[in-house]
Every structure is written in C-alpha cells, then in structure tokens.
Structure 1
Amino acid sequence: MQYPKAVLFDYGMTLCTEPPADIEKGFAAILQYAVSNPRKITPAQMANLSEQVERDLGWFNPEQDDPLETWYLSLQRYLLETLDITLSLSDLQTEQLYWDVSSPASPAPYIKEVLRALQKRAIPFGVVSNLCFTGATLERRLHACFPDDPFRFILASSEYAFRKPHARYFNLALHKMGTSAGDTWFCGDNPICDVEGSTGVGMRAFWYRFQNDFEQCRQPKAPCTKLSDWREFISLLPPTD
C-alpha cells in the first residue's frame, strides 16, 4: 500500500458533525444585541425573510448538486439593512454567534484519534471546506473543537473564487501543502464535491458517512474507500515503531 505524505479533510459532517440549522434560534441570539430595531422585527420574521432570500438566490434549487452559496456576510448585511436593524456586534462577531447558536459543532466520533495518529506519524493535514461563512469564523470553530490547533491550514471557499469540486480549489490546497496529488489522501462526506473532486485531480478519496447511509446517497462516479468509523482509517496508516 502507498501511504500518504499528507491528508486533506472536508469540514462539515467529516471533521465535525452539526445538527440541521435552526435559523430562528440563531437570529434570536443576534437580536439580543440589537441597539436599534425600530420595526420590532422578531426572530421568526427575520428567519422568514432569510428563507425567501435564499430561495431567490437558488440555495434550494433541486437541480444543483451543490448550489453556490452567497457569502454569508453579504446575506447578513442585506437582512439587517433591509430590516433597519443595528447591532452592537461587529460583522464577524454576528456571523460567529449566529452559526454557533443555529448549528453548533461537535468533533466526529473518533476523529481526534485520527488526528493524533497522523501527528504521531508526522503526516501533515489540512482542511478544504465549501462554506458560506468566513475562514476566520471556521478557524475559530475548529479551534474550539480541536484546541491544540493541529491543522497545517484551513481553507474556506468563501475566501476564494472557487469551491469543490473545482480542480483549482484542490490544486490550491496541494500547493499550500507542498505535496503531489498522488501522495495526498482526501476525506469528505460529499460524493460529488469531495470524492469526484479530489479523485479528479489524482488524490485517493475516502468517502466518510458516520451514519453509514451510503446506499441512500448519490453514488460517486469515481473510486473511493468508504468509511463509517474513523478507526478504520487509522488501520490504513503506516505502522509506528
């Protein structure tokens, strides 16, 4: 077996699990910091407008495998200014609070053991995520879940012109890691963005579904190794002395 010289991970439902977003709960949290809300907008009204806007933007288009999300800060600014709401928080503080409350993250089962195993073998690893939130907010979230901050780098598509499965996004990650595609493994939960995207540039793909629901998913048109338990991944790494 050819062992990896580096490993790249998707973020959501791969490194961390998240419940479905409760956007009304998230808006309720940020409205507590309103210094001006002349129309007395409620969390429910804000959530209703947000859903309308997201439909207009095509976020719920069933014809798209992975719809292009608008940068969340742009959506946040539109909502607040449309509703005449001013907060005492900065844009980044508002974004972080909304995400933390609406969809809190937890490390995936046994992923910490995987990261420790990689560190023990001196195999560097990084994060390549499709995300509407800023990279700074993602870094804070990952640091909260993994306080020792073990990642070589963390990429969020909101910061770049491309997103998975585009080859340019994967190639950027390889460039930053300093390894070739053939020496790099990629792990993610999305059959198109993660599996087809990474194999398209020559990486070995690992398709992780912690609920073991592979048969209910669209099947990737690329070879991959299926994982429903991160401990299986550790067994594929090189032995230690």
Structure 2
Amino acid sequence: MKKPSAVLFDFGGTLALDSEFDLERGVEYLRKIALNGDSFTTTEICGVWNGLYADIKSAWSKDAPFAIETPLSSIFRCIFGIAGLKFDIDLVQLEHLFDSNNSDRTQTPYMAQLLEYLDKNNIKTGVISNITLTGEALRRSIELLYPGNRFEFVITSADYCLTKPSPYMFLAAAKRLCVVPSDCFYCGDSLRADVAGALNSGVFPVLYDPMAKQAADYSDKGEYLKINSWKVLKDLLDEV
C-alpha cells in the first residue's frame, strides 16, 4: 500500500449510519413548515410520492449497469405542485431539511478520527455519493454530522446524472483535486457501487465491512482492501 494523495468517501453506510427511512416523518416536517400546510394531509402527500416513485421505477432499465438519478428537487417540484404547497425557503434547504428529518443519523465509529488524521497529514478528502440530494444539500447535512469538516467537495449522482458504478463522478473528483485517479482511495460499503465504481475509474477501493472477521484483508487479486474499522485504515496509513 502506498499513501494516497486523496481519500474519497461514500456517504450512507460509510460516513453516516441512518436508521430506517421514514417517509411520513420527513413529509410531515415539510408540511408543517409550508406556508399552506393544511391544504393536503401528510398521508395524501405520501400517496402522491409513492405513486410518482412507482412510475419512475417502471421507467428504469433493469439491465443497465447503472441508473439515471432522479434529483429530489425534481420530485419536490412535482409533488408540491400537485399538492399546491408553498414555501418561503429554497429547494436546496428543503432537501436538507427533509434529509435531516426522515431518519436518525450518527457518525460511523472512528470516522472522525480518520478525517482528523487525513487533514493533519495533508491528504485531501471529498465525498462521492449515490443520492437524490444535490451536492450542496448533502454538504449541509454532512456539516451537521461533522462540524468543521475539511472536505474539498461533495459530489452526488443527483448533480452528475449517473449513479455509481459509473466512473464519471470518480474521474471528475480526481480532476477537481488535481490528482491522477491511481493516487486516490475511495472508501465505501458496497461492492457493486463503490468497489466497482472505483475500479472502473482507476481509483483504489477500500471496502468497509464492520462485520468482517479480519481487521484488514486484500481481495484475491489485490484489487481492493477490506477493513472492519476506520481505525484500521488510519493505522495502516500511519505505517506507510
């Protein structure tokens, strides 16, 4: 292993641990802050939401290697337009508030210590996530979870059209950091999206599996590293 110039992170399951997604809880919060929240009930809004998502999923190709992302802002425009809901805050803030109120969220263990180590050692960091939130909305959520973080950017599939394992977000991230992909690590918890996406773009993948019996283990061909704790990655980097 060589010390990377940059370490990129997935969000859900990697930087953050979320409880089960609760659509009604998130919608209820937004309805209460709407200027005319009494025009529709939470149940009615959720019904429109579920119907829209069913139509979106029916348009997806099951054989495609990755999906086209549907931005949450587009979903909001459709649902709020049908419900006639009006707000005095912008869509980015609505995305952030919905994200912050549809589940309970905590840091993954030892992630804060790893981020501090990377910052002290001048290793650049950024976020690449498959998520319907815009990068700006997700950045606000990350700031709540990791106040004062030093992420150079937050890139999401909502802003970049295609989901991981498409290589485009990874290649754009390396370019923004002014490093070659092979000098980057990408940390995530999914073989299909994170490991495959990193490999597709020439970035070295680190798979986070807190249930793994071994603290650190390379895949059979050495294509990626699997760890069971972010402390393990910090210690490995410290030895390089």
TM-score by length of 1: 0.86
In 1, distance between residues paired with 2:169 and 2:79? 29
CA contact (8 A) 2:68 2:162 kept: no
**1:151 aligned residue:** 151
CA offset at residue 160 of structure 1? 2.2
> What is the identity, as a one-letter code, of the residue corresponding to 2:15?
L
2:194 is equivalent to residue 165 of structure 1: no
> What is the identity, as a one-letter code, of the residue corresponding to 1:155?
I
User: Secondary structure, in 3 states, of the residue corresponding to 1:32?
Assistant: helix
**2:216 aligned residue:** none
> What is the identity, as a one-letter code, of the residue corresponding to 1:206?
V
Using the TM superposition, name which of 63-72 and 195-204 deviates more.
Answer: 63-72
In 1, distance between residues paired with 2:239 and 2:60? 46
Runs of 5+ consecutive residues of structure 1 not aligned to the other structure = 214-218
Runs of 5+ consecutive residues of structure 2 not aligned to the other structure = 214-218
CA contact (8 A) 1:59 1:67 kept: no
In 2, distance between residues paired with 1:53 and 1:150? 37
In 1, distance between residues paired with 2:59 and 2:190? 17
CA contact (8 A) 2:67 2:163 kept: no
In 2, distance between residues paired with 1:84 and 1:10? 35
In 1, distance between residues paired with 2:112 and 2:103? 20
CA contact (8 A) 1:195 1:224 kept: yes
2:205 is equivalent to residue 201 of structure 1: no
2:130 is equivalent to residue 124 of structure 1: no
Q: What is the RMSD of the two structures over their aligned residues, measured on CA atoms?
A: 2.6
1:176-214 deviation digits (Å, cap 9, x = unpaired)? 11112222111111212210110122221111133559x
How many residues align? The count is: 233
CA offset at residue 154 of structure 1? 1.5
User: Secondary structure, in 3 states, of the residue corresponding to 2:35?
Assistant: strand
Runs of 4+ in 1 over 6 A off after TM superposition: 59-62
2:49 is equivalent to residue 50 of structure 1: yes
CA contact (8 A) 1:11 1:127 kept: yes
More helix by share: 2
**1:98 aligned residue:** 98
**1:236 aligned residue:** 236
CA offset at residue 122 of structure 1? 1.6
In 2, distance between residues paired with 1:162 and 1:222? 27
TM-score by length of 2: 0.87
CA offset at residue 52 of structure 1? 1.5
User: Secondary structure, in 3 states, of the residue corresponding to 2:136?
Assistant: helix
1:115 and 1:56, CA in 2 relative to 1: closer, same or farther beyond 3 A? same
- For 1:75-114, what aligned pairs fall within 5 Å after superposition? 75-114=75-114
1:57 and 1:222, CA in 2 relative to 1: closer, same or farther beyond 3 A? farther
Using the TM superposition, name which of 82-91 and 25-34 deviates more.
Answer: 82-91
